[in-house]
Structure 1
Amino acid sequence: MTLPVPQPVQTDPDKLRWGIVSTVKGSMRQIARFIAFHLDLGANRVHLHLDVPDQELATRLSHPKVRFTQCDDAYWDGKPSRARSTHQMRQTYNATRIYRITQLDWLAHIDLDEFVLAPARMSDLLAQVDPNGPFVAMQPVEMLNSAGDPHHFKRPAHKTIKRQIYPTYGAHVSGGFIGTQSPKVIARCGFSDVRLGIHALRYKGQIVGGGAQIDGLDLGHAHAPDFETFQKHMAYRLEKGSYHDRKGKLNKLGNLIRVLMDDPDPDALRAFHTELCSAAPERLDVLAAHDMLITRTLDLDTKVARYFGKLEG
């Protein structure tokens, strides 16, 4: 459905204000990197909901542009029980709550393992969006296994070349991605009765259409940038996350991962991750040849030091 954009909209990049909302669960280092990266990108506000309350973390990472919400029992008291029932419902509830009270012009709903990769200053890019556009869609690009900067990301592979790039598993993995291929949105603020979901803006249950795309604006997703991270999150993703079956519908990627976990070869799962996520020179060459490679210097630890100094531990 289409939704008329409240007018006028802010088109002066020096006055335009944008921000991020996220429900997070992670280490202080992970959260500090996420905040620092997006503050450095020019975010005017970073709203973080701590799914596991941690006042010490919020105090250590305090900043004038950062707002922490402790999602403890007191926070959820009086709120619909369904809103707290799953991680996905908590994400949507928290993002929608902030959307409805924010004074920002634009609000992005992303996860802790995602980084907005912008080709220019975000306020300049958003100021140029069609005034009738309700949101901007950011297409995910998946981080490859690299020890540090520069970080390499890949775009989804078209089915005509997928098997060429991923000869063993390409036929079984959509786009060659082990994470989501669904875009995330930066929503224009000011709508009434909308919900800011994980992958869409919704009005009275219907998905709002008419979004824009900005050339070169991608969402870098560190879904499983190394095998250790892949293993660490495996149980949750199979049970409740991106690999679990939904409403009785088989999750093909999750099923493949379970088969590999049961394989007599102890290295079967590692081989799967290597084929799909390796940043070996020959893999980078193939991706570049198909215009599927994005390389960015994120400089995360330098940015953390800039905003928060040296982290303890």
Structure 2
Amino acid sequence: MNAAPNWGVVATIKAPTRDILTFAAHHLDLGAHRVHVYLDAPDPQAEAALRAHPKCRVILCDDDYWNRRSRKGRPDKHQPRQSLNATHCLNKRPQVDWLAHIDVDEFLWSEIPIADRLARVAPDRLSARVRPIEALDPGPYKIEAEPYRAYKSCALSQADRRAQTNAIYPTYGPYLNGGFLSHVAGKVFVRTGQPDISLRIHNAFRNKVMDDKAEELHELRLCHHHAATWDHWLAAYRYRLSLGSYRAELKPAPHSDGYAFNMHEFFHMLEEDGGEPALRRFFSEVCTATPELQKRLASYGHLHHINLDLDAKRARHFPEHS
């Protein structure tokens, strides 16, 4: 019997030291054989801690890194920097059988060993997809499952997703894709050691053609802390609106009446209508773990309670930063 494959993650990160090491510690604790971190800005403390860990690899993406002949300078936008770095890792020295490209606010989760599930991926599949669940802001509300946190998911079927989203989020559902503020596509693991493979944000490519046959890893989740609290979300809101996941050029989502729009347009509409209080009302209905929202999510099987226990994991792997 062949041994289970090993796996790892790669991320391009610009975040506080504590967040970088929390991300690494969680995935090490989950069984990652390698955690590859491309530092998008200098962080001597994080760099030193990662270099000291035998399963972590770190690259500082400074001017020297970006000005090497093969890279032709640092891209202005972070999305192409992420894709270039992930592809660099994949093709140079991933040191794992499967590599997942994820972000610092995303945490893989599985109740079975990830290696065991990857061992069952069909041998003709290049990539395997993990679908996201978005963290809800606990706000003032307690849940029966504490210290577990509440997360929301959405239906894979577009038709089911549309109907369920309208029912779960009565005011804003028609403007949202699955009730999510960020992506519903999830992220992929890609099988390493293959020729002419590249990675983007949500997909693997072979010979510049997107792999559209990724196997669904239903047993795994990608816990996305995109809007973990109101303060956290609002602090990132302007950046996301101009350069991030709410930027104007992103592909529109279908509206329930057939009109296509994107989150950039939607948030501009909200602010024009009612300013920051309107944003707050939106966040309360869509992103806060109110008893009413949890009940509606649960009725469709879209409420999940997970305890990532991140502080304990960081203390285990990087005790000097506990």
> Could you say whether these structures have the same fold, taking a TM-score greater than 0.5 normalized by the shorter chain as the test?
yes
Cross-structure match for 1:34: 23
Structure 2: how far apart are the matches of 1:69 and 1:208?
Answer: 27
Provide the aligned length of Structure 1 versus Structure 2. Answer: 301
Structure 2: how far apart are the matches of 1:52 and 1:226?
Answer: 25
Structure 1: how far apart are the matches of 2:45 and 2:21?
Answer: 13
- Amino acid in the other structure paired with 1:76: W
- Amino acid in the other structure paired with 1:72: D
Give the Å deviation of 1:11: 4.5
* Secondary structure in structure 2 of the residue aligned to 1:168: coil
Relative to structure 1, the CA distance from residue 259 to residue 82 in structure 2 (aligned partners, 3 Å threshold; closer, same or farther) is farther
**Residue number among 193, 216, 222 corresponding to 1:213 in the alignment:** 216
* Secondary structure in structure 2 of the residue aligned to 1:34: helix
Structure 2: how far apart are the matches of 1:203 and 1:193?
Answer: 6
**Identical-residue share of aligned pairs (%):** 37
Deviations 1:241-263 (A, max 9, x none): 11111179785211121222333
- Amino acid in the other structure paired with 1:80: R
Relative to structure 1, the CA distance from residue 248 to residue 275 in structure 2 (aligned partners, 3 Å threshold; closer, same or farther) is closer
Give the Å deviation of 1:119: 2.5
Q: CA RMSD in A?
A: 2.0
Cross-structure match for 2:158: none
Cross-structure match for 1:6: none
Task: Give the stretch that moved more between structures: 238-247 or 30-39.
Answer: 238-247
**Residue number among 174, 188, 202 corresponding to 1:199 in the alignment:** 202
Task: Give the stretch that moved more between structures: 42-51 or 271-280.
Answer: 271-280
TM superposition score normalised by structure 2: 0.88
Matches within 5 A, 1:55-74: 55-61=44-50, 62-74=52-64
Give the Å deviation of 1:37: 0.6
Give the Å deviation of 1:136: 0.8
Note if contact 1:113-1:223 (Cα within 8 Å) is conserved in structure 2.
Answer: yes
Cross-structure match for 1:7: none
* Secondary structure in structure 1 of the residue aligned to 2:28: helix
Task: Give structure 2 stretches of 5+ with no counterpart.
Answer: 140-145, 156-160, 253-259
Structure 2: how far apart are the matches of 1:266 and 1:134?
Answer: 44
- Runs (4 or more) in structure 1 with deviation over 4 Å come to 247-251
* Secondary structure in structure 1 of the residue aligned to 2:216: coil
Structure 1: how far apart are the matches of 2:34 and 2:105?
Answer: 18
**Residue number among 54, 72, 80 corresponding to 2:71 in the alignment:** 80
Task: Give the stretch that moved more between structures: 143-152 or 243-252.
Answer: 243-252
- Amino acid in the other structure paired with 1:173: L
Structure 2: how far apart are the matches of 1:48 and 1:199?
Answer: 18
- Amino acid in the other structure paired with 1:259: M
